[in-house]
Structure formats: structure tokens, C-alpha cells
Amino acid sequence: MSVSLLRDVVKPVLTGFKITAKRLGKKKVTISYPDELREQYPRTRWRHYLTRYDSGLERCIGCSLCAGACPARCIYVEAAENTDTERYSPGERYAVRYEINMLRCIFCGYCQDACPTGAIVLRKDFELANYKREQFLFTKEMLLEDYPGQNLEPYKSKMTGAEAPIYRG
């Protein structure tokens, strides 16, 4: 009975203590999150942004290719025609309504790869928490950049080979 007690109870406990003692000597990897931020991977994709040209015109032409490429079906684009008096994008059309349901988004980046003008980009801004479901429906006004070239660096798409801007951090 004592041999089976040693084999079944004491040996696993000693093995557990050995693993714990080995870990105590190593450096801690814990960071204090709000004060320190972890380094993001180079291909990290989080928050969506709608970019503008240097002239201030929107890049989005309302083609809905991003919505078609989205596997989660979380993007809705409603297009309208540009006029000579009201011009929002350099093309014939523009997105009068652009919405992304961030609760459904899987952050795959297909929308960024599908966009022919580089209007939609995913950047490293990962703090997307909110308290209400309605706040996760990002509208065009929430997605548009304040000014052109805001914290951008070039990024080459794997699928198209075209350069698109990505957030530097």
C-alpha cells in the first residue's frame, strides 16, 4: 500500500513542485497594460479607416467591392452620384453611406485587399471596446480620417501587390 501511495500521490506532487520551482527563476513577462503597450506584429490588422487624397477628397468611390469580399458580410455601402457642385470623390460616384458592423467583423483584411483605390485600410488601433451594441456600428463619419496621410507608412498587399497605407503606431 505504501508503494502505490508513493507512486500515485507523492510523485505527481513532487513533479508539480519541480515545474513551479523552475518557473520561479525566470523573468516575468507581465506588462502593465495602460502604461505599457506590447509591440504589434508587422501585419497586425484592427480598426478600419477610410482614407482621403491629399486634396481632401475621399478615396472611396462606392464600388462595394469591399462588401462583396467580406466573408462576414459586415460592410454596407450605399453609393450616390457626384455632381459638379457637390464633389466628394474624384470619380463619378461616392459612398453616401458606409457602415461596418464591428461585432461581425473578423479582421481578415479582405476589404483592404479588394479596394481598387486604397480607400479602406486596417490599422493597429486595437482598443475598440464599448458598452452598447449600437456603438459597434461604425459609420462613415467615424471611419473617415481627420486629414490625409495621418500616421501612415506603405504596405504592400499580398494579393494585388499594390501599396496601401497602414498605421505606424
Q: Quickly count: other Cβ atoms within 10 Å of residue 10's Cβ.
A: 10
Does residue 59 form part of some domain?
A: yes
Give the CA count within 13 Å in the CB-facing half-sphere of 17: 6
Does residue 23 form part of some domain?
A: no
Tell me, what's the pLDDT at 153? Answer: 47
Does residue 75 form part of some domain?
A: yes
**Confidence check: pLDDT of 167 > 50:** no
Does residue 138 form part of some domain?
A: yes
Does residue 24 form part of some domain?
A: no
> How far are the Cα atoms of 29, 47, 60, 81, 122 from residue 88, in angstroms, in the given order?
48, 23, 9, 9, 22
Q: Which domain holds residue 77?
A: 47-167
Does residue 133 form part of some domain?
A: yes
Q: How does pLDDT run across 7-51, given as a tens digit for each residue?
A: 777 788 888 888 888 888 888 778 888 788 888 888 888 999 999
Round to whole Å and give the CA distance between 146 and 126: 18
6: confidence class by pLDDT, cuts 50, 70, 90: low
Round to whole Å and give the CA distance between 50 and 145: 6
Does residue 37 form part of some domain?
A: no
Does residue 11 form part of some domain?
A: no
- Phi, psi (degrees; rounded to nearest 5) at 142: -75, -30
Domain count, the chain: 1
Higher pLDDT, 125 or 77: 77
Q: How does pLDDT run across 112-124, given as a tens digit for each residue?
A: 999 999 999 999 8
**Confidence check: pLDDT of 107 > 50:** yes
Tell me, what's the pLDDT at 27? Answer: 82
Helix (H, G, I), strand (E, B) or coil at 131: coil
CB 120 within 8 A of CB 77: no
Q: Would you call 59 exposed, middle or buried from its count of C-beta atoms within 10 A (0-12, 13-18, 19+)?
A: buried
Q: How does pLDDT run across 47-81, given as a tens digit for each residue?
A: 999 999 988 899 999 999 999 999 999 999 999 99
Tell me, what's the pLDDT at 3? Answer: 66
Q: CATH no. for residue 64?
A: 3.30.70.3270
Q: Would you call 69 exposed, middle or buried from its count of C-beta atoms within 10 A (0-12, 13-18, 19+)?
A: middle
